[in-house]
Amino acid sequence: MKKKVLIVGGVAGGASAAARLRRLDEDAEIILFERDDYISFANCGLPYYIGGVIPRRDYLLVQTPEAMKKRFNIDVRVNNEVIDLRPEEKKVVVKAKDKGVYEESYDYIILSPGAKALRPNIPGIDSPRILTLRNIPDTDKIKSMVDDKNVKRAIIVGGGFVGVEMAENLREIGLEVTLVEAAPHILAPFDSDMVVLGERELVKHGIQLILQDGVNSFQDQGSFVEVTLNSERKLEAELIVLAIGVTPDTAFLRDSGIELGPRGHIVVNDRLETNLPQVYAVGDAIEVVDYITKGKTAIPLAGPANKQGRIAADNVAGLNSTYRGTQGTSIIKIFDLTAASTGANERTLQRANIPYHVVHTHPLSHASYYPGGAPMTLKLIFSPEGKILGAQGVGTDGVDKRIDVIATMIGLNGTVQDLTEAELAYAPPYSSAKDPVNMAGYVAENVLSGIAENITWHDLPNIEEDYLLVDVRTSREYARDHVEGAINIPLDELRDRLDELDREKLLVLYCQMGLRGYIAQRILKPKGYRSLNITGGYLTHSVLGFDPNAALDREKSKATPYSCCEDDVEIDPATQTVREK
């Protein structure tokens, strides 16, 4: 029997569902409604078109109505907005730009209405100089303004992915950029000990970063907008970009009988079915299951939306596919850095009361003896049983493939041991014989087995017993900078200087990256000393106190993480030995 399937909304979820369904059912009547002019565009590329990285606007257009009709025989109706769903009649009400209001019947319907940018009720927010970035028309407005030579300054409100990408791209084309974030840090998927690396990169490239201060009001002053923050600080700019998040675009469904979550997201099961018969939903408008915590959440990402569109189409076609949940794997470019994450962060696990361990490593992107290796920081989060719960990485090269490997492991319910056993491609220009993924697994495995006893810098103030902080780096490293109160006994001198340590005290060890502290712990344990090694070492500590209000020239002058105290020596991150350059 011929099916009539309506798809509400295009872009990632809806367009993917339409194309998949046609490949599965050549005879189905498929109608796709899109209220704007564009059914499928690269919304993740919008900031890069504004910044000139993507040179032509038409590169953003993934699919056109004409191409969808020609290749897939899909009736695409742009400028047709579905304004009501009447499940008892199996009809939708559509408001069309060219022919007014009409009804369309269906056998099945796939809802992909997406989400819209938040515009909170802040005084002055209706100024024409205050814009959001969600679609092609939004892009055209911002692009038109920044191409106007009179726009010299921009304020980005919100430090999520879109906000950071817009800040970077506007700065790259020469604007003075201020990024305002009400939370303590930008980029919510990252923990504070990782995201500070990205914050430092923004400041290094001339962006004024204001944290823990939200917007109180806007005042249109003609050629610019005056922004008053909650702290009463005032800022001025010709362009304001609101990037404070999105809300599901589901208001048209409120009287339909469809079940909505507390924030307006459509509730679906693992087949992406709603509570209404023959009605499915996908994309940014739905609640999903968090793959780690198993709780309900909303994660508006293009990758999951595409997968959901395919699964919904499968089920309409009778294939019985299921969606197992969202890991939230994501990645962002921050000038010269790459930051990526997958799975749960510490805040999420704490809210869910899920116990976990953390390790930090600071490997190079490839073999240290091959020129051009770039340092990165990896954070691995895992359960007391060894199940991988999440990971975060920041660096200039090789971060993406390490997080992708760990994301794949998480999707397969992988463990720390699986990381140690992963057989990954190796040649000196690309990796090390022990890949950074393997190394993170080894460090975590040592924690689980009890061979290593680690803490984080955040744990240090919570130690209740009397302890001695011991810096096991070289004297030159110690002289350059160290943690206040730490004594210095270099690792290679430790066996000969044990008499300087108090056996009654807990020894808290740190080195530059963690490895020498672990080796010191292995020396001390058979001799009856109790010790803890601070994971990530001084390199992790050095970024925790980053102040975005610090002078830019001071930030630019900082030594690189792998340098020692003078330019003629460096630390090999693989062995943590000091060597001549």
**Which residues, listed in sequence order, are joined to residue 379 by a DSSP beta bridge?**
360, 392
Q: Quick one: pLDDT at residue 568?
A: 46
For residue 43, the model assigns a pLDDT of 87
Q: What does the pLDDT look like over 446-495, one tens digit per residue?
A: 999 999 999 999 999 999 999 999 999 999 999 999 999 999 999 999 99
- The pLDDT value recorded for residue 544 is 85
Q: What is the pLDDT of residue 577?
A: 58
Q: Which residue positions in the chain have pLDDT lower than 50?
A: 551-569, 580-581
Own/partner long-range contacts of 550-558 (Cβ < 8 Å, ≥24 apart): 550/203, 552/203, 552/204, 552/206, 555/200, 555/203, 555/204, 556/204
Q: What is the structure's pLDDT at 148? A: 83
Architecture (CATH level 2) of domain 4-116+247-316: 3-Layer(bba) Sandwich (3.50)
Hey, what are 237's tokens?
Answer: 């700019």
| pLDDT the model gives residue 575 | 57
Q: Are 218 and 124 in contact (CB under 8 A)?
A: yes
| Angle, alpha carbons 438-443-444 (nearest 5°) | 95
One-character DSSP codes across 35-64: SSS-SEE-GGGHHHHHTTSS--GGGGEEE-
Instruction: Report whether 144 contacts 225 (CB < 8 A).
Output: no
Distances (CA, A) of 9 to 34, 126, 256, 319: 5, 27, 17, 23
Q: What is the pLDDT, as a whole number, of residue 569?
A: 47
Q: At how many degrees (to 10) do helices 537-544 and 515-524 cross?
A: 130
Q: What angle do CA 527, 514, 481 make, to 5 degrees?
A: 105
Token pair in block for residue 466: 């009397």
| Residue 261 CA: distances (Å) to CA of 55, 254, 388, 465, 502 | 40, 11, 29, 47, 58
For residue 253, the 8-state DSSP code is G
Kindly report the number of other CB atoms within 10 A of residue 126's CB atom: 10
* Contact indicator for 41, 62 with CB cutoff of 8 Å: yes
Q: Domain 130-244 class? A: alpha beta
Strands (E) in 243-319, as ranges, are 246-248, 279-281, 288-289, 296-297
Phi, then psi, of 161 in degrees rounded to 5: -60, -45
Q: Which residues, at least 6 apart from 248, have a Cβ–Cβ distance to it below 8 Å?
A: 113, 114, 115, 263, 264, 265, 266, 284, 285, 286, 298
- CATH topology agreement for domains 130-244 and 455-580: no
- Provide the CA 548 distance to its chain's centre, in angstroms: 20
User: Could you tell me the residue ranges of all domains in the chain?
Assistant: 4-116+247-316, 130-244, 336-449, 455-580
Return the pLDDT at 313.
98
Interior angle at CA 178, CA 172 and CA 179, nearest 5:
100
Q: Please name the helix (run of DSSP H) or strand (run of DSSP E) that holds residue 83, with its range, or none.
A: strand 80-86
| Residue 271 CB burial class (10 angstroms; 0-12, 13-18, ≥19) | middle
What is the chain's length? 581
Q: What is the per-residue pLDDT for 192?
A: 94
Name the active-site residue from 44, 511, 564, 565: 44
Q: What secondary structure letter does DSSP report for 220?
A: E
What's the CATH code, domain 336-449? Answer: 3.50.50.60
44 part of the active site: yes
Helix (H, G, I), strand (E, B) or coil at 50: helix
The predicted pLDDT at position 566 comes to 40
Residue 381: strand pairing partners = 358, 390
Find out whether 438 and 423 touch, Cβ atoms under 8 Å: no
Q: What is the CATH number of domain 455-580?
A: 3.40.250.10
